[in-house]
Amino acid sequence: MGIIYVVRHGQAAFGTEHYDRLTEIGFTQARLLGAYLGRRNIRFDAVFTGTLRRQIETARGIFEGHGGLASPLLQETFPGLDEYKPEAVILAHTGSVPVPALAAVKRDPIVVREHFRVLREALLAWAEERTKPEGMPLWRAFQDAAVAAVVEARQRFPEGNVLIVSSGGPIAAIVAAALNAPPAAAVDLNLRIRNSSLTEFVATPRRHHLVSYNAVPHLDANPDPTLVTYA
């Protein structure tokens, strides 16, 4: 059997004009995860990421923290691992374009809470195909594209280890598909995924099974509580 390690990117610059990049906390999270995997002597046959900067930077941080990953390691990008477009999802549901508030830059808890309340409602409407966000596929096609990366990993490396670095939406879609859970469950899973968290599957060429979800063993023993983030 092979093992597929699915990681959500580290903390990105939420509430700024350039969200698609890691913060210093995000880089720290990624390096700590890499160090944790290195201590467990876990090596990878391949690394899959989406095309987003924050995903690629997270993979780089994991490599830096690990210290034992060879540079010729096979690395591939899969657009199906990219995140959905939250602005398009919200616009399709509410009819208005969300404007990032200055308070969100400071991670004001009230602003952030309201943002994610609206986002949850909008995601549910998309997942239940009550809306069709502009420039985005239907929910089922989005889910299928994310799962396809896992299928590719298990078929090409049936006895190996594959690291997949993605985002909350695709990871939730992958987990929900593995559990035969409804779209509403995928939305709830999405909004609970922590930055740099680790989700594991055991795999054969024909199937993959969920072993763990949303774990942060690399942060559990760290005395700095600010390293555990969701956005």
Rounded Cα gap, residues 147 and 178, in angstroms: 9
> Is residue 178 packed enough to be buried (19+ CB in 10 Å), middle (13-18) or exposed (0-12)?
middle
Q: Which is higher by pLDDT, 103 or 32?
A: 32
Residues 43-102: tens digit of each pLDDT:
999 999 999 999 999 999 999 999 877 654 678 999 999 999 998 999 999 887 655 544
Q: What's the pTM?
A: 0.92
The tens digit of pLDDT for each residue in 167-212 reads 999 999 999 999 999 999 999 999 999 999 999 999 999 999 999 9
For residue 193, the Cα-to-chain-centroid distance in whole angstroms is 8
68: domain range? 2-82+138-227
Residue 198 lies in a domain: yes
Say if 53 falls within a structural domain. yes
Is 151 contained in some domain? yes
The predicted structure's pLDDT at residue 105: 47
Give residue-wise pLDDT tens across range 124-172: 999 999 999 999 999 999 999 999 999 999 999 999 999 999 999 999 9
E-assigned strand segments in the chain: 2-8, 46-49, 74-77, 161-166, 198-203, 208-215
Q: Which of 77, 22, 67 is nearest to 46 (CA)?
A: 77
pLDDT attached to residue 109: 73
The confidence score (pLDDT) of residue 114 equals 81
**Residue 42: inside a domain:** yes
Q: Is 116 inside a domain boundary? A: no
Residue 107 lies in a domain: no
In eight-state DSSP terms, residue 84 is P
- Secondary structure percentages of the chain, helix, strand, coil, to 5: 45, 15, 35
**CB-neighbour burial class of residue 160 (10 A; exposed 0-12, middle 13-18, buried 19+):** middle
Let me know: does 201 contact 213? Beta carbons within 8 Å.
no
> pLDDT grade, residue 110 (50/70/90)?
confident
Which CATH number covers residue 173? 3.40.50.1240
Domain membership flag for residue 96: no
In a domain, 109, yes or no: no
Query: What amino acid occupies position 219?
Result: L
- Residue 111: per-residue pLDDT: 73
Total domains present in the chain: 1
